Amino acid sequence: MTMGNDAPFRTVIEPFRIHSVEPLRMTTAAHRAQKIEEAGYNLFQLHADDVLIDLLTDSGTGAMSRDQWAAIQHGDESYAGSPSFFIFRDAVQELFPFEHVIPTHQGRAAERILFQALCRPGMVVPSNTHFDTTRANIEYAGAEAVDLVIAEGHDPSVQHPFKGNMDTGRLEQLLTERGDAVPCVMMTVTNNSGGGQPVSMANLREVSQIAHRHGKPLFLDFCRFAENAWFIRQREEGYAEASVPDIVREMSALADGMTMSAKKDPMGNIGGWLALRDDALAAECSNLLILTEGFPTYGGLAGRDLEALAQGLREVVSHDYLRYRIRSTAYVVDALTELGIPCLQPAGGHAVYIDARAMLPHIPPLQFPGQSLAVALYEVGGIRSCEIGTVMFGRHPDGSEEPAAMDLVRLAIPRRTYTQSHMDYVIEVCERVLAAKDDLAGYRIVAEPPVLRHFTARFAPLT
Ligand SMILES: *Cc1c(COP(=O)(O)O)cnc(C)c1O
């Protein structure tokens, strides 16, 4: 035994300590049963005070650092030309060297502006897998959103290091057959709706070459760029010694622009941006921005938000942070797998995805097994998760209904927010639900809006 060397320990610790705490409210099973019924069995409709461990999303729910809170005090609220904008822009361009950086209040505002500028009815936009707001904004502009993830990306149990990769053969085919109707190619990095699975540098390079050969710009939906870069460093040949910032810059160099939800890897509670190379497109997007978001040096954000994001970008590329982040997600997946709960393999970056269709084979997809499991996790342990399956994707714009590719329940892990004992509790709640799984029933929808129904639909149990 040699002491004093840097041999890694089995325990990967949180590379921070707690500076300010928020109380959690304990609730009883009877209280939760009443609240979820009142919410129409829709977890989005709960009062967050009635949730114990909130794994609904990793979006905007992370803990900001001491240095981010300090940066907030530095915010300058000038309407035009705020120094905070330039601090923000420089931090963005340090990692993503695009000429034009347009702040927005969230990722979806960047998407709305980009697709309003690019899409017309009859067009088609390919991606590995469109995120739900991306798909909705493309469809709202009258275009079609097409998912071309590799076949492995559709099978929750198969192991593959880069399940977020695009099927480049199908991309080539789409561009050959319908190229005139394609305004751009998108790539979601990591692939959120496909299980937080990474995209390899090799695949991104190939997608970039194909898109550019057909004269199409490539845009990255780059919300989890740092987690993806860490996976490349861990799994892709030739990157073991590369720094995460260098990997991020190499990915950016392959694209013509990006959309960002700064509520993800940039460690913000709010924010986003659209970054572009093309001058004319950037000018058009800036004009659309002014219409609904604000002047181009704040874009719907306060100066203080821009400062917090600039600092968050410096923190998220830390290797110590990313080692902890990716390990803490894998910790939960490993424990659930050990219990016999079918999880999407391998572990993704920001979330654990339980394969509800495989866990609850007695509930057919059109009776929403993911919804059933998500409601049970809340009723049993006060855990709020998110169905990513037939509720979210099963209804088509023409009103028809069919099973989604997968019925998953996502336990998204907010950044730097919960400790290992919180996760041990989550694992124990899952174990209790597993023991009672044969008693879980499906659901039917009793009311739903025309788009993005998962946010507001009301359900009733089928008993
Ligand atoms: C969250 C997210 C978005 C949308 O961003 P908002 O900030 O929620 O509007 C777009 N794409 C992906 C991959 C996301 O995870």
Clarify whether residues 159 and 140 are in a common domain: yes
- CATH number for the domain harbouring residue 333: 3.90.1150.10
Domain boundary among 262, 294, 316: 316
Ligand 1 pocket by Cβ (under 6 Å): 59, 106-108, 131, 133-134, 188, 192, 221, 223, 261, 263-264, 272
Does residue 151 fall inside a structural domain?
yes
- Residue having the nearest C-alpha atom to atom 2 of ligand 1: 261
149 shares a domain with 277: yes
Residue nearest to atom 1 of ligand 1 (CA): 261
**Smallest Cα–Cα separation from 417: which of 107, 67, 101, 62?**
62
Co-location of 276 and 354 in the same domain: no
Residue 1, pLDDT above cutoff 80: no
Residue 277 phi, psi dihedral angles, 5° rounding:
-90, -40
Whole-number Å distance, alpha carbon 462 to ligand 1 midpoint, is: 32
- In this prediction the pTM is 0.94
Instruction: For residue 395, tell me if it sits in a domain.
Output: yes
> Which pLDDT score is estimated for 2?
64
Give the CATH number for residue 163. 3.40.640.10
Whole-angstrom Cα Rg for the chain? 22
Residue 219 has pLDDT above 90, yes or no: yes
Q: Is residue 347, in this structure, part of any structural domain at all?
A: yes
Percentage with pLDDT > 70 across the chain: 100
Classify residue 56: in a domain, yes or no: no
The residue contributing the CA closest to ligand 1 atom 5 is 107
Same domain, 101 and 245: yes
Question: Does any domain span residue 21?
Answer: no
Q: Which of 316, 334, 350 represents a domain boundary (last residue)?
A: 316
Ligand 1 centroid to Cα of residue 96, in Å, is: 18
Same domain as 323, residue 288: no
Mean pLDDT of the chain: 96
Kindly state whether residue 284 falls inside one of the protein's structural domains: yes
Which of 75-89, 157-171, 393-407, 424-438 has the least mean pLDDT? 393-407
Selection from 250, 209, 254, 252 nearest residue 233 by Cα = 250
Using the predicted structure, report yes or no on whether residue 132 has a pLDDT greater than 80: yes
Specify the higher pLDDT residue, 325 or 7.
325
Residue nearest to atom 6 of ligand 1 (CA): 107
Least confident window among 161-175, 183-197, 248-262, 308-322: 183-197
Residue-number span of the structural domain to which 389 is assigned:
29-51+319-461
Whether 47 and 156 map to the same domain: the answer is no
Residue 283 shares a structural domain with residue 150: yes
pLDDT at residue 104 greater than cutoff 70: yes
Domain boundary among 316, 338, 353: 316
How many distinct structural domains can be found in the chain?
A: 2
Q: Are residue 359 and residue 384 in the same domain, yes or no?
A: yes
pLDDT score for 6: 85
Q: Does residue 383 lie within any of the structural domains?
A: yes
What's the 223 CA to ligand 1 centre distance in angstroms? 7
> Ligand 1 centre and the CA of 131: distance in Å?
7
Task: Output the CA 210–ligand 1 centroid distance in Å.
Answer: 25
Average pLDDT over residues 89-111: 98
Task: Note whether residue 410 is domain-resident.
Answer: yes
Q: Domain check: are 162 and 207 in the same one? A: yes
Mutate to test the pocket of ligand 1, among 56, 57, 59, 267 (most ligand atoms within 8 A of CB): 59
Question: Tens digits of per-residue pLDDT, 380-435?
Answer: 999 999 999 999 989 887 888 999 988 999 999 999 999 999 999 999 999 999 99
Mean pLDDT confidence for 88-110 = 98
For ligand 1, atom 4, which residue shows the shortest CA distance? 107
Give residue 107's pLDDT band: very low, low, confident or very high (50, 70, 90): very high
* Range 179-205 average pLDDT: 95
Mean pLDDT score, 48-55 = 98
Mean pLDDT of 195-211: 97
Asked if 329 and 228 sit in the same domain, the reply is no
Sequence-separated (6 or more) residues with CB below 8 Å from residue 159: 345, 346
Are both 274 and 300 inside the same structural domain?
yes
Q: How many CB atoms lie within 10 A of CB 366?
A: 13
Tell me, yes or no, whether 364 and 410 share the same domain. Answer: yes
For residues 7-24, average pLDDT: 92
